[in-house]
Chain A
Amino acid sequence: MIIATAVVMISCNEKEAIPMEWQFEKTIDLDGINPIGIALDGNDIFLSDGDHNRIVKLSDSGEVLQMMEGYNRPMHIDFGEASYLITDDGITTDLLKERALFIPEYGRDSIAVMRDNHVSYMVLNDSLDAPAGVSVYKNEIAIADFYNNRILYYNGEAWISIGTEGKALGELSYPTDVQLTSDYIYVADAYNHRGHVFDKSGKAVSFIGEDQNINAATGLYVTDEEILITDFENSRILIFNLKHKLQQILETGIHKPTDVIIGNDVLYVTNYQKGELVRYQLKEKISSNE
């Protein structure tokens, strides 16, 4: 009995990890929707349609479930559960960690907060100039403040401004997207054509993909294993590991992408100009000999 268990253990230990990669599955035509940002809520997909000033809710198969109008150029959106002050018709209340969709309105210089189709606005003492992305992690919030060339970061107690205009480490050129993780702040540093990583004190840590000839890094998504960056002008998604080493480049079906996200084992890409949503699936890597 002991020997049999050991054999199983040995055989388990010896089992090689199967190399996996993202493979193109299909393109969904969005019929008049020009998606910029994407967020997931369970099986539902939320898209910001900047051209038409609305948020669109889709099923995972791409069927339109709901259109929410009235947003002024909504950009990279995110779901979160922060405790933060919001205002609605002059009445200020606390979100109290109620799950909400955070919507940066580029044309209104504000962050809308939507819960059950009801819209409020984040109370901010600092002025934004074209917010292009927002990220919520636990009680922290980060905003990509496009024309101010900075990230505004709320650490749960106070706001700090991260980055100034420029090309050097710690400097940004029109950030369009941001994501908070447990330890870092990842930024799509759009017109420096790279990803940019800061720690939570605001200190610049490193670049991502600086040597990949990215042309407009417009969107970004980070998982526990990967960092994904959209390369808008070159119509690519670049996937790096957490050590910032390039792992895979996605090109099939991708045209002028603005955002990317992974959920429910599916990778979604928003093709802004063509009005499409592209799906990739994680599958066993196809050998180059096949």
Chain B
Amino acid sequence: MKNITIILSIVIGLFAITQVQSQNKKDRDQFEVQVDGLGCPFCAYGLEKKFKEFKGIKDIAIDIETGDFSFTYPSEKNLSMTDVINQVIKAGYTPNLATIARADGTIENNESNEDIALGDLEEDKLYVNGMCGMCKARIEKATSAVPGVATASWNVDSKMLTVAYDPEITNKDFIQKAAANVGHDTKDSRATDEAYHNLHACCKYKRD
């Protein structure tokens, strides 16, 4: 009889813990952001640190290899996608796909549905100054977002951006300006001092 009482007490205790955990999950939104260029631990932990400014953040997980960054946040605070994306950028990183699984079951993401039909593509190589994997992510994200650009790939050693684009829609000047807008000097377009200053520490290349 005594043993049965003990077993029952344990089962009830475990049930209560599970209920509390389940309730906690229901009260929290789950955020997942894919961040490019988390090659250096000092930078990656900096991203984590920057997000700790959001009081109430929990369950932070960061995978430096894949760039997967996730956390939970109290649902009543209704942290928006824009807040999350801005915080990633403020920390000096380039956000890719971000998903929010709200406590009420709704799912949000930042995927864009804008697709432009491209004609015959032209390929060019453009000089873009930068330093590291984080620069690569930022340069490729900015230049591939230019309407008319099909692909953009930057080489960290040669500093050359290989870009395929529809010349009927865009041109080399627009593409170079897009890189300069996010802080990276090109042959024909120089970033503003402010844009350069806003680069993450490890991305601050020597300016020509």
Q: Chain B 10-28, CB within 8 Å of chain A: the 1/0 string?
A: 0000000000000000000
How far apart sit A273 and B41, CA to CA, in the bound complex (Å)?
9
Residue in B closest to A258 when the chains form the complex, CB atoms? B41
Indicate whether B164 reaches chain A with its CB closer than 8 angstroms.
no
| A73 in the interface (beta carbon within 8 A) | yes
> Which residues of the other chain, A, contact B41 by a CB distance below 8 angstroms?
34, 36, 50-51, 258, 272
Report the bound CA distance from A54 to B60 in whole Å. Answer: 16
Q: Which of B46, B48, B202 contacts A216 (CB 8 A)?
A: B202
A73 touches B45 (CB 8 A): yes
A225-258 interface bits toward B, Cβ cutoff 8 Å, 1 = contact, 0 = none: 0000000110000000000000000000000101
Q: Which residue numbers of B lie inside 8 Å of A, CB to CB?
A: 39-42, 45-46, 48-49, 52, 64-65, 131-132, 156, 201-202, 204
Do residues A107 and B48 form an inter-chain contact, with CB atoms below 8 A? Answer: yes
* Residue pair A107, B45 in contact (C-beta under 8 Å): yes
Find out whether the CB atom of A132 lies under 8 angstroms from the CB atom of B64.
no
**Chain A residue at smallest Cβ distance from B52:** A107
- Chain A residues numbered 96-128 whose CB sits less than 8 Å from any CB in chain B: 106-107
10 A-B residue pairings within 8 Å (CB atoms): A50-B45, A130-B46, A130-B49, A173-B204, A176-B42, A190-B201, A191-B202, A216-B40, A216-B202, A233-B156
| Most chain A C-beta atoms within 10 Å of own C-beta, residue among B45, B49, B204 | B45
Most buried by A among B48, B65, B132, B202: B202
Within 36-61 of A, Cβ neighbours of B (below 8 Å) are at 36, 50-51
Partner of A191, one of B45, B52, B64, B201: B201
Q: How far, in angstroms, from A73 to B46 measured CA to CA in the complex? A: 10
Of listed B41, B49, B52, B132, residue having the most chain A CB within 10 A: B41
B49 to chain A minimum Cβ distance, whole angstroms, is: 6
- Contacts A51-B64, A132-B42, A216-B132; A190 near B202 (Cβ below 8 A): yes
Interface size for A (C-beta < 8 A) is 25
Q: How far is the CA of A190 from the CA of B45 in the complex (A)?
A: 15
Complex Cα gap A259–B201 (Å): 19
Is A155 in the interface zone, CB < 8 Å from B?
no
Q: Smallest CB-CB separation from B200: which chain A residue?
A: A191
A198 within 8 A of B: no
Interface residues of A in 9-55 (CB under 8 A from B): 34, 36, 50-51
Judge if A174 is at the interface, Cβ distance under 8 Å: yes
A218 to B41, CA, bound (A): 10
CB distance from B150 to the nearest CB of A (A): 29
- B42 contacts A273, CB within 8 Å? no
Question: Smallest distance from the beta carbon of A127 to chain B beta carbons, Å?
Answer: 14
Bound-complex Cα distance A154 to B131 (A): 34
Known: A173-B201, A191-B201. A273 touches B39 (CB 8 A): yes
Q: Is A186 positioned at the interface, with any CB of B under 8 Å from its CB?
A: no
CA of A60 to CA of B45 in the docked complex: distance in angstroms? 29
Shortest Cβ-Cβ A-B pairs, 4 listed = A191-B201, A174-B201, A73-B45, A50-B41
Question: From residue B139, how far is it (CB to closest CB) to chain A in Å?
Answer: 16
Q: Smallest CB-CB separation from B132: which chain A residue?
A: A233
Q: Mark A129-165, 1 if CB is under 8 A from B, else 0.
A: 0101000000000000011000000000000000000
Question: Does A87 reach chain B (CB closer than 8 Å)?
Answer: no
Question: Is B49's CB under 8 angstroms from A107's CB?
Answer: yes
Question: What is the bound-complex CA distance between A45 and B12, given in angstroms?
Answer: 46
* Closest B residue to A215 using CB positions: B131
The residue in chain B whose Cβ has the minimal distance to the Cβ of A191 is B201
Distance A256 CA – B41 CA, assembled complex (angstroms): 10
Of B39, B46, B48, B201, the contact of A256 (CB 8 Å cutoff): B39
Within 8 A of B (CB), among A260-290: 272-273
Contacts of A176 in B (CB 8 A): 42
Q: Interface readout for A199-216 with B: 1 if CB under 8 Å, 0 if not?
A: 000000000000000011
